[in-house]
Structure 1
């Protein structure tokens, strides 16, 4: 592969801010998928990931789409996404399932849950390296390069209107998007540097602490707390974890939680006893993500309530790891239900993809 910007390349990153910044910025939706830089040199196509590992073998349908829609020689930054069965929002769980070791399974999934590529930056075109050019020039060249592109390759919409970006922030969440990204108009492409800004949704929820996993530093330190919410049937459903604690606090938590340790026989997730040492309460999670790690947990009596910060839901679980906010000794665990969660207004994903 002979390109002015050869693989691998670490993508340019964004730093989190609380509000959409005003000024000389270009704003675009923040897609919820796999960040990917795609390299094409004639019939050669490589799909790079954020950690610089190629993902080409997992998305054979995208290789063909790139050949049909990209310029003959180009390096384009963007996001791989999968649309859910309903057709109206993104589905990150289905996207995760696309990373599978079996070639037969990869082929089947490429047909059942095909990916799409959302392009939002240009690193190279033909023999020209665009990384040292301002974003306005890169964007103009990207628009021209993909002017004739068709699904499943899309060009992300952009605006310089901060008010419209605020509307996108609110509306597009209903289609499963993650927030808004702001790029300085004169910013060059800087791999692995946080020179953009991202504004993501953040909410709070009161959850039941149902168990813990120990930290890699030792058996007397908490690695993560397992969270649950009660569903309409009165069952405690697993919704995610929190795990960002200072080292000293991990040891304190371990001591504090010991009086709540119980057996699986007396636990809402009693079924986990037979899978202890191999699985997590998340039924859909598989070994390809755990890398052989022991995902068993120590069950706790569901009496402790914690308030956590989260961005949005993916089905019945938090899309990302939640963040500790505060303990809620005033809350009855039985009151920690899904009803407290805010539901974003639905938005037509097709309208966003159409630009």
Structure 2
């Protein structure tokens, strides 16, 4: 199933026809509850049921014919931990149960796409939201509806206070809008200077790069990212497999100066966050898969 997405805005939209939700920093996941069992699908379309046995087990409390859209997060020390979610998503079936015990996942459901086998996507968001709260609200953790408000001032309060627990911004939706899979009908307001950058190379071993070399939209000079967490290193190795080009380049790494790197063929994009300190560091948040780059 292709999921709906959002375009970035720089100021908070206001209007009587809008709803506001906190944007958690996690992994997008669609939950299918069927007579024969639960199926968990990542945004890319990859089936990740085996990596999240705790969420699959919790979803069995829902009636067959339910389809949810939402975000998986892992809470550590009172805030969400994106690197921990990456570890969970990359877990092998043999490692997944132990990781589920060490890093239990939570699922913030923000849309109900089907109930009792009925396709709810053509309905207005306000109707889907009411049915989501009625269905998922009574369950409690680890499955719960994401908070929502129609009050712009309350949304701004969330924006100003929830950043410390890992909420990266707000998602804004029209209450009369149907669910448009594959479209960018929603809007998002983020705290960070996050954006996309072209991946032009990597440092370290090809199978598990230590860092990525990136070209930012406003600067043609390649820069070296901050060190990748383990799950991103493994994913980068898979995504860049077979894309290494001959030769060697040099790029600037914060605090290290010029370092050597291996170039890769064009076509891979990463979502990155640029720091605003005296020596800015570029942190890779996630690699963009081809499906995520479609308009």
TM over 0.5: yes
| Residue 321 in structure 1 maps to residue 268 in structure 2 | no
1:298 to 250, 254, 263: 250
- Provide the TM-score with structure 1 as the length reference: 0.62
Is the 1:123–1:131 contact (alpha carbons within 8 Å) kept by the matching residues of 2?
yes
| Residue 107 in structure 1 maps to residue 59 in structure 2 | no
In 2: Cα distance, 1:199 partner to 1:57 partner? 33
The residue that corresponds to 1:133 in the other structure is: 123
In 2: Cα distance, 1:81 partner to 1:58 partner? 13
Deviates more, 1:15-24 or 1:101-110: 101-110
The residue that corresponds to 1:353 in the other structure is: none
What SS does structure 1 have at the residue aligned with 2:173? strand
Is the 1:242–1:321 contact (alpha carbons within 8 Å) kept by the matching residues of 2?
no
- Provide the TM-score with structure 2 as the length reference: 0.74
| Change in CA separation of 1:321 and 1:225 when aligned onto 2, cut-off 3 Å | farther
Is the 2:33–2:67 contact (alpha carbons within 8 Å) kept by the matching residues of 1?
yes
In 1: Cα distance, 2:22 partner to 2:56 partner? 24
The residue that corresponds to 1:313 in the other structure is: none
The RMSD of aligned alpha carbons is: 3.5
What SS does structure 1 have at the residue aligned with 2:272? coil
The residue that corresponds to 2:69 in the other structure is: 77
Correspondence 1:45-56 to 2 at 5 A? 45-56=38-49
* Deviation (angstroms), 1:287: 2.6
| Residue 65 in structure 1 maps to residue 62 in structure 2 | no
1:243 to 209, 215, 219: 215
* Deviation (angstroms), 1:63: 0.7
* Deviation (angstroms), 1:281: 3.9
Is the 1:43–1:67 contact (alpha carbons within 8 Å) kept by the matching residues of 2?
no
Count of residues in Structure 1 that have an aligned counterpart in Structure 2: 252
In 2: Cα distance, 1:30 partner to 1:46 partner? 24
* Deviation (angstroms), 1:241: 6.1
| Change in CA separation of 1:179 and 1:241 when aligned onto 2, cut-off 3 Å | farther
In 2: Cα distance, 1:131 partner to 1:202 partner? 31
The residue that corresponds to 2:7 in the other structure is: 15
In 2: Cα distance, 1:152 partner to 1:181 partner? 21
The residue that corresponds to 2:154 in the other structure is: 164
The residue that corresponds to 2:279 in the other structure is: 336
2:164 to 174, 178, 181: 174
Is the 1:243–1:323 contact (alpha carbons within 8 Å) kept by the matching residues of 2?
no
| Change in CA separation of 1:224 and 1:161 when aligned onto 2, cut-off 3 Å | farther
In 2: Cα distance, 1:288 partner to 1:225 partner? 13
What SS does structure 1 have at the residue aligned with 2:14? coil
Is the 2:168–2:192 contact (alpha carbons within 8 Å) kept by the matching residues of 1?
no
Is the 1:224–1:243 contact (alpha carbons within 8 Å) kept by the matching residues of 2?
no
Is the 2:108–2:146 contact (alpha carbons within 8 Å) kept by the matching residues of 1?
yes
In 2: Cα distance, 1:242 partner to 1:139 partner? 39
* Deviation (angstroms), 1:323: 5.4
In 2: Cα distance, 1:66 partner to 1:42 partner? 12
